[in-house]
Amino acid sequence: MMTDEKKITPEIIKAHGITPDEYDRIVKTLSREPNITELGMYSVMWSEHCSYKNTKPVLKTFPTSGPRLLVKAGEENAGIVDIGDGLAICFKIESHNHPSAIEPFQGAATGVGGILRDIFTMGARPVLLLNSLRFGKLESNVTKHLLKGVVSGISHYGNCMGIPTVGGEIYFHECYEGNPLVNVMALGIMPAGKIVKGKATGEGNPVYYVGATTGRDGLGGAAFASRDLTEKSKEDRPAVQVGDPFMEKLLMEACLELPETDAIVGMQDMGAAGLTCATSETAARASMGIEIDIARVPRREEGMTPYETMLSESQERMLIIVKKGKEKIVEDIFKKWDLHAVQIGEVKSGDRMKVYDHGELVADLPAKSLVDEGPIYIREEKRPIYLEEAQKLDLSKVKEPSDFKAVLKKLLSHPTIASKRWVWEQYDHMVRTDTVFYPGHDAGLVRIKGTKKGIAVTTDCNSLYCYLDPFEGGKIAVAEAARNVVCTGAVPLAVTDNLNFGNPMNPEIFWQIRQSANGITEACKALKTPVTGGNVSLYNQNPSGAIFPTPTIGMVGLLEDIDKRVPSHFQNEGDLIFLVGDTQNEIGGTYYLMIEHGLQKGLPPRLDLEVEISLQEFVLEAAREKELVSCHDLSEGGLGVALAESCFGFWKSLGAVVDHLELTVRKNAKEILREDALYFGETQSRVIISVRPSDKESVIKRAQQHGVPIYQIGKVTSDDKLQIGERISGSVSEFKSVYEAVIPARMK
């Protein structure tokens, strides 16, 4: 074995983020000291990003099985769900937070590239993208720079790939100052029987490297993502990769021709931890050995060491395990697309992963030791001290505002609530001619050509709730995501999650992780939406502290008949407006309390899963019976914001007169309802629906059958007027102009 000149010192071990205990573990596995290449390989594979060493015990609690699941969480690169008609969908969410903080354009762009490879590596054609973004306050120049960079990065990559970005969410809050979150979700469709596994099976099968050349870019990116961001991080700039969406488009088209051929046994993208991860994971999944010679790897730079080659995170590269004797079929496909396809090794019996450089052995270790046998930590957890103070809220001291109209305008012009048109008009959201609901709806909706089906997708997480009560916040993230999907008429199927938290070594942070995960687990079980996989991003903190706990939920739903879709906005003059679900005095953790009273306090709204299920079942049934003209979920900003948004139709605005609030909602409330709670409270499990007058009786009856409170509160009008109760009256256009204006004005 070639021993690298470099002596392994305690400093080098530390610089790789390997603890002394972990180092001992490596020595024990190898029965010798590792060389520098092997040390590097362990360091990336045992990083949180690849091994989930800090969160595995928590992730284990997620429900991961269901009748429609074809591939379970953790088994493969992404979860796969059967949707009937011989089709399956494959989806996943992934973070690119740290790279985006350093270089927002390339960080976000390569985030898109990475998640798309996760999908097409399984043989599925990506059909849509979503993104969940968090930034500091939009007033700051740094935030503007980051927002601009991230949005153009996503636009650059997604648009060029020809995959529509159909939805997502953006929050602005000071806790994300200097530590933005960029979570990208992709979904693909494939024939149910044509799943490509990331497995290196069959002794003697050749291992191919395809796609872009390998350079020094992105060296140690996975390890980079697993550390706190500091001022010094900016000096780590070479760790950021540069994306080439054109290359990836060709790679995708070529890779999607492969499942048609019967010439391959496995495929795996080279993302975090590059060649090291792709080779060891494919071998470990198949319980086989693998040998490669890195001298054959196409390079873009001269003089790269084995260490650099094995750890490079150059983008747009894939590993393909070809059936012996069918090499030519694969080579011809890549030739057609003018791409590299080079055999770099083969599958071996046994369990060893051996790496050669010009025939000389440079790394020799058990593949499973990198993938499955990394350390697992049960971290200490402690209820955070801040909660004591933060959860306290004396409602009697919260004065009701005198001007409700001004409050509504303030809410509508908060960048988190305001229209994100400035953002999504930079994304091609229509390419592929399947997008039925554009961004701005409760959930994105795409049709599946050749069937009657549609797929509804959304991402959700109110991190203020999670900060004040991680358990309830995690529960609500799932329930609200499901509700958004249900509002379109689609049945929620499954979840992908992106857990964004601070440093897990801090027991208070780990408590947040545990509690959020418990909340997600409880809601996913109740709503029968298993978790199919996802991503964990820790160490999201800067010198001033950790971000709010942000367990982002990506929810996917199935609409059996696209003609039964329900839009989010009012459609016809004269339709009746109903508020479905009861309202309580829930002001804690609301946007109203934060924006009007400057308080981020109190217990967030409580979510009763039984109530939520009844509501969702009612909406789905009414949608199937075509009784719902529109349906919109109540979230940040409560009834006031939801009513205004319902008027801001995609094609045209309508008005609304909501003059029955006193007689219905308030009269029937279980307690004396504060007016601010009625107008802006965020009680869960509520939606606004609009219904043709002729369907009034049947809708009311249907709600009663489901035990769901329903209140007829007003009427859709054609004039430019929005009246809500006795407190708010104005023109739709004045509300809409503040809603539309704020982000473009700040981004000028």
Partner 1 sequence: MKATVVVFPGSNCDSDCFNVMKDVMKADVQYVWHKEASLPKCDLVILPGGFSYGDYLRTGAIARFSPVMKAVKDHADQGRLLIGICNGFQILLEAGLLPGAMLRNKTLSFICKHVWLRTDDTNNPFTNKFKKGQTILIPIAHGEGNYTCDDATLKGLQDQNQIVFRYSSEAGKTGEEFNPNGSRDDIAGILNQKRNVLGMMPHPERSSEQVLGGSDGKQIWESLLVSVKS
Q: Which residues bind partner 1 (CB under 8 A)?
A: 152, 155-156, 159-162, 244-247, 249-250, 336-338, 424-433, 435-436, 438, 447, 449, 562, 650-651
CA-based nearest residue to 415, from 104, 36, 57, 738: 738
Told to judge if 96 belongs to the known catalytic residues of this protein, a careful annotator would answer yes
For residue 250, the minimal CB distance to partner 1 (Å) is 6
For residue 316, the minimal CB distance to partner 1 (Å) is 11
Dig out the tokens for 360 from the structure. Answer: 């000389």
**CB-nearer residue toward partner 1: 436 or 656:** 436
**CB-nearer residue toward partner 1: 20 or 162:** 162
For residue 426, the minimal CB distance to partner 1 (Å) is 5
For residue 84, the minimal CB distance to partner 1 (Å) is 20
Q: How far is CA 190 from CA 85, 86, 316, 359, in A?
A: 11, 9, 21, 40
In DSSP terms, which residues pair with 365 in a beta bridge?
A: 353
* Strand boundaries in 164-213, DSSP class E: 165-172, 181-191, 206-211
CA-based nearest residue to 251, from 337, 380, 148, 177: 337
- For 412, residues 6+ apart whose C-beta sits below 8 A from its C-beta are 418, 637, 641, 644, 735, 738, 739
Which stretches of 317-381 are DSSP H helices? 327-336, 367-371
Catalytic residue among 49, 569, 660, 706: 49
d(CA 46, CA 49): 8
Bridging pattern class, strands 317-322 and 687-691: unpaired
**CB-nearer residue toward partner 1: 400 or 425:** 425
Instruction: Look up tokens 């030791």; give the residue.
Output: 369
d(CA 559, CA 443): 12
If DSSP codes are grouped into helix, strand and coil, which group holds residue 703? helix
- Cβ atoms of 439 and 170 within 8 Å: the answer is no
- Cβ atoms of 434 and 125 within 8 Å: the answer is no
d(CA 188, CA 166): 13
d(CA 732, CA 644): 8
* Strand boundaries in 501-580, DSSP class E: 531-537, 541-542, 545-546, 550-559, 576-580
**CB-nearer residue toward partner 1: 289 or 567:** 567
Dig out the tokens for 723 from the structure. Answer: 């009246």
d(CA 115, CA 534): 11
d(CA 295, CA 311): 14
- Cβ atoms of 349 and 299 within 8 Å: the answer is no
**CB-nearer residue toward partner 1: 450 or 543:** 450
Dig out the tokens for 363 from the structure. Answer: 């790394």
d(CA 275, CA 294): 9
**CB-nearer residue toward partner 1: 375 or 649:** 649
**CB-nearer residue toward partner 1: 160 or 417:** 160
For residue 425, the minimal CB distance to partner 1 (Å) is 5
**CB-nearer residue toward partner 1: 31 or 433:** 433
d(CA 725, CA 673): 14
**CB-nearer residue toward partner 1: 563 or 671:** 563
CA-based nearest residue to 665, from 558, 577, 540, 574: 577
For residue 439, the minimal CB distance to partner 1 (Å) is 10
d(CA 482, CA 473): 14
For residue 650, the minimal CB distance to partner 1 (Å) is 8
For residue 109, the minimal CB distance to partner 1 (Å) is 12
d(CA 543, CA 103): 19
Catalytic residue among 96, 441, 569, 632: 96
Instruction: Look up tokens 């369990």; give the residue.
Output: 351
**CB-nearer residue toward partner 1: 124 or 322:** 124
Dig out the tokens for 606 from the structure. Answer: 């409580």
CA-based nearest residue to 113, from 161, 149, 60, 181: 161
Looking at the annotation, which residues are catalytic?
49, 96
